[in-house]
Amino acid sequence: MTASTSKYVIGNWKLNPASLNEAKALAAAVKAALADQTQVQLGCAPGFLHLSEVAAVLGDCAIWAGAQDISASTGVTGAFTGDVSAAQIVDAGARFVILGHSERRQYQGEDNPVLVKKIQQAIAADLVVILCVGETESQYKSGETLSVLEKQLSVLDGLGVPRSQLIIAYEPVWAIGTGLTPTVDEVVAVHRHIRATLADKELPEVCVLYGGSVNADNAAAFAEASEVAGALVGGASLKADAFAQIVAAFAS
Ligand code: PEP
């Protein structure tokens, strides 16, 4: 798979919804609302248990199914109890994987050495990697945002990740699920810094998405900035109509 278009709106369903039937209904509603739109590459990332059925509902429409994590230990099969491999999510219909989400960094202790392995497994399986980076509230307040991001992006050093398989999502931890967001100017400045940092790693022109409390009301303001190549959406991706309004903002 390649990250070939210039705008993306990706839904991170996290540990939602509770049942497979609800997940299939959400996928069907997203498909009904958005299957015909061609200006933005869309993706939905349900939980592992729902992935294959969500991918089947999306079928051959242009909306990607994806996953929220993969095993660091193997890309295929092996004695790794509880893990799900890159090959397994591809088999289930995934075209991308979200890696390094702040909730995994916080609750699962995911750090750069672990992420290096996951990125390698994902790239070998031909998945698009959506790599999440972002600072905590205290790091934001103490002006450490850019240095924190540089450390997180150093995970890419020496991996030879093809630009076509990489998307970055800038997600300030303090903006996720809180209703708070940085200003558009702050996001633009950070995105410029991320792109410059990646260019120094011979990764020019990588798409950088914004994530953190994006909703139907604020999406247009972010979408107006050319530095914002789309959005990674959590809570608002669980309602097809709100998700469709966010997509419309980035498509216009
Ligand atoms: C996320 O978890 O990636 C996210 C952006 O969440 P929310 O949109 O709910 O803030």
CATH code at 151?
3.20.20.70
For 104-144, the pLDDT digits (tens) are: 999 999 999 999 999 999 999 999 999 999 999 999 999 99
The residue whose CB lies within 8 Å of the most ligand 1 atoms, and thus the one to mutate among 8, 12, 132, 209, is: 12
12 labeled binding residue: yes
3-state secondary structure of 80: coil
177 labeled binding residue: yes
Percent pLDDT > 70 in the chain is 98
The mean pLDDT of the chain is: 96
**Any ligand 1 atom below 6 A from CB of 169:** no
For 46-61, the pLDDT digits (tens) are: 999 999 999 999 998 9
Distance CA 112, CA 7 (A): 27
Please indicate, yes or no, if residue 50 is contained in any of the structural domains.
yes
What pLDDT does residue 84 have?
Answer: 98
Spatial neighbors of 155 by CB under 8 A, at least 6 apart, are 100, 112, 115, 116, 119, 131
pLDDT band for position 1 (50/70/90)?
low
What is the domain range of residue 31? 7-251
Q: Write the single-letter amino acid at 45.
A: A
pLDDT at position 252 over 60: yes
Please identify every residue annotated as catalytic: 101, 171
Please indicate, yes or no, if residue 141 is contained in any of the structural domains.
yes
Please indicate, yes or no, if residue 231 is contained in any of the structural domains.
yes
Please indicate, yes or no, if residue 1 is contained in any of the structural domains.
no
**Any ligand 1 atom below 6 A from CB of 209:** no
What pLDDT does residue 3 have?
Answer: 55
Distance CA 132, CA 209 (A): 9
**Any ligand 1 atom below 6 A from CB of 211:** yes
Strands 41-45 and 166-170: unpaired
**Residue with CA nearest ligand 1 atom 4:** 234
pLDDT band for position 190 (50/70/90)?
very high
Ligand 1 centre distance from Cα of residue 78 (Å): 32
Closest ligand 1 atom to the C-alpha of 132?
3
Please indicate, yes or no, if residue 71 is contained in any of the structural domains.
yes
**Any ligand 1 atom below 6 A from CB of 232:** yes
Ligand 1 centre distance from Cα of residue 236 (Å): 8
What pLDDT does residue 6 have?
Answer: 85
* Total count of domains within the chain: 1
pLDDT at position 2 over 60: no
**What would the mean pLDDT of 172-177 be, rounded to a whole number?**
98
**Any ligand 1 atom below 6 A from CB of 233:** yes
Please indicate, yes or no, if residue 221 is contained in any of the structural domains.
yes
Please indicate, yes or no, if residue 42 is contained in any of the structural domains.
yes
Please indicate, yes or no, if residue 2 is contained in any of the structural domains.
no
Ligand 1 centre distance from Cα of residue 88 (Å): 25
What pLDDT does residue 193 have?
Answer: 98
pTM of the prediction? 0.97
In which residue are the tokens 């979408």 written?
A: 223
**Any ligand 1 atom below 6 A from CB of 177:** yes
Q: Give the chain's end-to-end CA distance (angstroms, integer).
A: 25
Closest ligand 1 atom to the C-alpha of 214?
8
Percent pLDDT > 90 in the chain is 97
Distance CA 10, CA 8 (A): 6
